[in-house]
Chains A and B, each alone.
Chain A
Amino acid sequence: MSAIWQHRLAERGVDRRLWLLLPATIFVLLLFIYPFLYGLSLSFQPMQGGGVLANYDKFFSDAYQRDTIATTLKIALPAALLNVLAAVPIAFRLRGRFRGKRLLTTILVVPITLGTVLTAQGLLNYLGPTGWLNRVLLSLHIVDNPIRLTNNYWGVFFSLVITGFPFAFLLVLSYLSGIDPTLERAAATLGASRAQRFRRITLPLLAPGLATTFLLTFVLAFSVFPSAVLVGNPAGSTRVISLAAYQAAYEQYDYSYASAIAMVMGAVELVVVAIVLLWRSRLYTGSTGGKG
């Protein structure tokens, strides 16, 4: 390679070290791109014949199917938002060094290790119609009939918060500890109150991280499946889109239709991701520490 050519590439940030990306690229191609393309092409070959878009037509013309998009968004968006919003103040409190921090962090992170099924089990025990919460409320005569918090929207929502929050918390905590604490102290010497410091300094520097965190928990929540069945109402209010795809594939054995639903699912996620990333790209995303 001639030197001039190399310099020109270097200007654009390209150099020989990029070859190190090759294994990862192959891995992604094999495990992600290929199945995706396979599914995409499968979705255009409907089993019952008809045009190329017959599967998509079928999905969008059937209200029962179409509504799964809204149902899923209605669960996933608020759950992801709550996870991020709840993680911020807690991470903010925990970012300094203090006694017992490790223990507290561990307790907050444990739900990651539980898995959805165990979480669902626990939710039924605590919040179910004969669960502890209702028994306490009934015996204290606060309510006359058990309040329903499982096998409906709320059951799935709680389950998503329990499993999604630790992720959000860990991510936000690491983003927060990447912000130079002297920035806030500088703001204080310039007369900014605690609230102003948070709003003018910490939040703008944290926002790109919050966007990323939101996306990750959103994507996790959007593909919710086990808890929608176990603690939700899979026939009605929590008939999420992954459930529709599952039913197409393993109850009707229509892989082509299932692929189409999976593609729709991907497209909806992509739209949300694109919107959030677009917003994020308008924020400051550079270094958050001092120079030198």
Chain B
Amino acid sequence: MTGFDQLRLEGVSRRFGTADALSGLDLTIERGEFIALLGPSGCGKSTALNCLAGLLPLTAGAIWQDDQRIDTLPPEKRGFGMVFQNYALFPHLTVRDNIAFGLRMRHLPKDDVRRRTTEAIETVQLTEHASKLPGQLSGGQQQRVAIARATVLEPSLVLMDEPLSNLDAKLRLEMRTEIRRLHQSLGLTTVYVTHDQEEALSMADRLVVMRQGKVQQIGTPEEVHTKPSTWHVADFMGYRNLLPLKASQMNGDQVTVDLGGTAIRGSAQGAVAPGDDVIAAVRPEDVKLADQGVKGLIEVVEYQGRERAVEVVLDDDVRLHVRTERRVEAGEQVALTVTPGRLLVYPS
């Protein structure tokens, strides 16, 4: 397959009946990029991937591969590899035949097929399982077959639909590294669907955060992590504290909000004016127990190894999630401070 320099999605949309599963997705994918599609369940990630692969016809928009329009091509003509959420391994073919399938469909010489298949099997470390049927493999092994099958063709684009969702936590971490390593060593361009923000942050060059079929934010992991564009994205990126407050003062993009009777400064994200209802977002790890600050009462303590996750109720009934290394107990009176610059204020 010839590679591409750029893949452009222009207003890619898909409706099911009257419901928009995906509306107006604009995205440019550069060669060699690792892009993660991230979002809650049902936000249209699989739909986007299927549209890219050609398994779902678009209802609007276009897909351009350099200057060729490809959204009308059937999947077999696009030459994109896909790793399905349930792997979709051919149950009647051995591991080796599953992996060789795509090469055989291209009518490559027998020796080539054998050599490349063997290499791919070695890459995913399945040599001793090569003649087993998929039903005789563990979940992690099946997943590696699926990856090998999709990548052995060295496709110009690899699409992966939550390939790690069925694995246990330890295997998931290992496979994460494995996929990233394959991406680099084979020089692939990858679009990776996940609803796990940690997975997306650690693997991708760029994130596309989606919600209800629409793109919320496109950016590097750092941008999305530190500057979510809306409070929905913030919510998804681990800002567990989303506090409905009132903005009192503005100074440049610094906003002052009133939290439990104490004025706290945050940075405005979007149009915020004094007196507006706002949503203030802050991560639990950016709220610290201190000697003085916002007063509250500890309600719940969860032991989490090195740290404790603590839920604090303020005087005005606002609840805050806090992480601390201090030994605290429910019922204790505490004071809280917010790490400067880490409180983000969104218009609600």
Contact = CB atoms under 8 A, between A and B. Distances in A.
Interface in B162-176: 166
B315 to A, nearest CB: 49
A188 B86 contact: no
Contact of A191 (B79, B84, B159): B79
Contacts of B318: none
A182 interface: yes
Contacts of B102: 190-192
25 contacts: A182-B86, A185-B75, A186-B89, A187-B90, A188-B55, A189-B54, A189-B81, A189-B150, A190-B76, A190-B105, A190-B149, A190-B150, A191-B102, A191-B105, A191-B153, A192-B105, A204-B92, A284-B91, A284-B92, A288-B91, A290-B84, A290-B88, A291-B87, A291-B134, A291-B135
Most buried by B among A180, A189, A205, A292: A189
B53 interface: yes
Contacts of B90: 183, 186-187, 201
B139 A189 contact: no
Contacts of B139: 291-292
B235 to A, nearest CB: 29
Contacts of B86: 180, 182, 290-292
A78 B79 CA distance: 42
Given A189-B81, A190-B150, A286-B92, 7 more contacts: A182-B84, A185-B75, A188-B54, A190-B102, A191-B79, A193-B105, A290-B89
B88 A186 contact: yes
Interface string B135-173: 100010010000001100100000100000010000000
A200 interface: yes
Contact of A188 (B74, B92, B133, B166): B74
Most buried by A among B79, B80, B86: B86
Given A182-B86, A188-B55, A286-B133, A200 B91 contact: no
A196 interface: yes
Contacts of A292: 86, 139, 166
A2 interface: no
Closest 7 CB pairs of A and B: A284-B92, A190-B102, A290-B86, A186-B88, A188-B75, A189-B82, A182-B88
Contact of A196 (B92, B105, B134): B105
A286 B134 CA distance: 10
Interface in B76-133: 76, 78-82, 84, 86-92, 101-102, 105-106, 133
**Interface bracket on B:** 20 to 34
B88 A205 contact: no
A48 interface: no
A201 B105 CA distance: 12
Interface in A54-112: none
Contacts of A180: 86, 88
Contacts of A284: 91-92, 133
B327 to A, nearest CB: 41
Contacts of B92: 204-205, 283-284, 286
Contacts of B159: 189
Nearest to B133: A286
A198 to B, nearest CB: 13
A191 B73 CA distance: 12
B135 A189 contact: no
A189 B52 CA distance: 11
A262 to B, nearest CB: 39
A180 B84 CA distance: 12
A145 interface: no
Contacts of A186: 82, 84, 88-90
A97 B5 CA distance: 39
Contact of B153 (A185, A190, A288, A291): A190
B96 to A, nearest CB: 15
Interface in A249-273: none
A237 B241 CA distance: 87
A287 interface: yes
A187 B101 contact: yes
Contacts of A192: 76, 101-102, 105
B129 to A, nearest CB: 15
B55 A291 contact: no
Contacts of B53: 189
Contacts of A204: 92
Contacts of B91: 183, 205, 284, 286-288
A192 B214 CA distance: 32
Contacts of B55: 185, 188-189
A187 B97 CA distance: 12
Contacts of A290: 84, 86-89
B78 to A, nearest CB: 8
Contact of A287 (B54, B76, B135): B135
Contact of B88 (A183, A191, A196, A283): A183
A202 to B, nearest CB: 11
